[in-house]
Structure 1
Amino acid sequence: MVTVDPGSGAAVQRRRTWVLGGVLLVASATAMLAAQGRLFVLSSLIDPLFALGALVLAVGIGRAGSVTARRPLGTGAVIGLVVVMMSQSFVYSVLAPPPQREMPLRNSPSPLELVFPVTQSVMLLLAITAVVQIGRIGVVPRPWNWAPLWALAAVALARALPIAPFWSPLLASGENVVPLFQVFDVLSLLNPLAVAFLGIVAIVLGSRTEPGPVPVYPSAAQ
């Protein structure tokens, strides 16, 4: 670890990086919430805003601003996550079967059905790698260095619970399922709220950055 004199601009780099990255994440969460309502047109902004915010925070406006300290594993995981996330729509559009009036009977899954779980698994693996690295490196003050892990756990929970098999008997019965769908609606809010939480944490920490020694890790460190 190398300690950088705040007079060199390291504290300014950190402040600019975290505030800008946080604003982009909050904007992504806002677009996500708006798209669930009548402003569905904003759904096209969700991924680009999130990707840009994640890249800003990982790469940093200057090395001192990087929440991964520009270490290859953590930074590479964030960049890989962004690449997969931004390319999945194109891949799905290419692999999607052409519209047909009648759905033919087939015994084998389509390429899209095979690629989708692989893509989601790769994104989850990259996300776990990134949040664990951010937590372990500790550029972000404790305990907020583990905030990305908390947010990822909330998002995973929100996506896993609605498809859990223990809901099947209740759905099949068709009796009193309104409260169940209300629970699903609440769970759907966890994703944008988790992203907004990360953005707010970044903005607050960036705004509260005070002069003092700023730790910067060599980029070649593992």
Structure 2
Amino acid sequence: MQRRRRSWVIGGTALIACGVLSMLSSSFLGTPAVRAVAIAGDVAWAVGVLTFAIGLTREQSLVARKPLGTVALVIVALWPVTSSAIGAVLESQRTTDPAVWSVLGYVGIVVPIAAGLIATVQIGRIGVAPHPWRWAPLWVLAGQAALWVMMQVAYLVVPGDEVQLLAEPLAALGTLSVLAATLGLGILALVLAARTRPESVEVYAPGAH
């Protein structure tokens, strides 16, 4: 259990660092440092999620290293870095074809959402984290999905001259959703790590694979 606490502390700290960097990024807009801050945030996210996915040992993994959940979490962890790298390559090649960027945009929506849904459901079902907090990642994902749908509906329904009035509130909600997935889940991981005791229930039955 001590090792599990250590794993959750590492993962939670990395997610908190990602959240802090996402807040700082707005301060560097228009400067060369903004890309470095964004990359550092993506790396912190990857470290945090990979730590929860794999753990220092199998019992420390939030999905007990079961293939479906592990693969889904690895995709969630690495997608921001991968997406940024693909975008950088396309920019360096001066790609201007709208279809290419459109495909990348749709893939950037479908892949992380699908992987996130699988990963969060697996975290909840496998039950390494205590109830009801094992479902917290799914709650965050559901909130983000609801916000995305609300934004699309707003841009379709609200007249063009009035949609600008919604831009700032929607941007604030978007920032809140990012912080929920980083600072929120990171702090929760630290709290659960502090509450985890040696006599806690086993993650899976002896002999399970």
TM-score scaled to structure 2, two decimals?
A: 0.84
> Identity over aligned residues, as a percent?
35
SS at match of 1:16: helix
Please say if residues 69 and 137 of structure 1, whose CA atoms lie closer than 8 Å, have aligned partners that are also in contact.
yes
Q: In structure 1, give the amino acid aligned to 2:118.
A: T
Query: How many residues of Structure 1 are paired with residues of Structure 2 in the alignment?
Result: 202
Partner of 1:189: 175
Please say if residues 18 and 203 of structure 1, whose CA atoms lie closer than 8 Å, have aligned partners that are also in contact.
yes
Greater Rg by CA: 1
Partner of 1:35: 25
Please say if residues 12 and 48 of structure 2, whose CA atoms lie closer than 8 Å, have aligned partners that are also in contact.
yes
Partner of 1:8: none
SS at match of 2:202: strand
Tell me the CA shift for residue 29 of structure 1.
0.6
TM-score scaled to structure 1, two decimals?
A: 0.79
Q: Distance in 2 between matches of 1:219 and 1:192?
A: 38
Q: In structure 2, give the amino acid aligned to 1:48.
A: V
Partner of 1:5: none
Unaligned runs of 5+ in 1: 1-10
1:50 to 36, 45, 48: 45
Tell me the CA shift for residue 171 of structure 1.
4.2
2:7 to 17, 26, 35: 17
Q: Distance in 2 between matches of 1:35 and 1:61?
A: 31
Tell me the CA shift for residue 118 of structure 1.
2.0
RMSD: 2.6
Q: Structure 1 pair 210/175, CA: closer, same or farther in 2 (3 Å)?
A: closer
- Structure with larger RCO (C-alpha < 8 A, sep 6+): 1
Q: Distance in 1 between matches of 2:203 and 2:157?
A: 54
Partner of 1:167: 155
Moved more, 83-92 or 71-80: 83-92
Alignment of 1:144-183 (within 5 A): 144-162=133-151, 164-168=152-156, 170-172=158-160, 174-175=161-162, 177-178=164-165, 180-183=166-169
2:185 to 198, 201, 208: 198
After superposition, what is the alpha-carbon deviation per residue over 1:97-123, rounded to whole angstroms, capped at 9, x for unaligned? 8559xx8xx8xx432222331232112
1:113 matched to 2:108? The reply is no
Partner of 1:7: none
Partner of 1:131: 120
